[in-house]
Amino acid sequence: MPIQLVIATALMAIARKVIVLDIKTVSAEYVLAIAAVVLALGITHWLVTRKH
C-alpha cells in the first residue's frame, strides 16, 4: 500500500478544510484540533519521505 500517497491525500484534504474554514463560526478548540492534525500529518509525511 503506497502510504506516502495516502498521507499526501490526507494533507490535501485537511488543507482544503482550512482554506474554506470560516473562522468566525468555529471554536478555538476546533482550530487547535485542525492545527494538531496538520502538524501530525506533516511530521508523518516528512518521516515517510525521509526514509525513501
- What is the predicted pLDDT for the residue at 23? 86
- pTM for this predicted structure: 0.79
On the question of pLDDT at 2 being above 90, the answer is: no
Residues in the chain: 52
Alpha carbon 38 to its chain centroid, in Å, reads: 3
Q: Write the pLDDT tens digit of every residue in 4-52.
A: 999 999 999 999 999 999 889 999 999 999 999 999 999 999 999 886 5
**pLDDT value at position 43?**
95
The one-letter amino acid code at 28 reads A
pLDDT of 1 reads 64
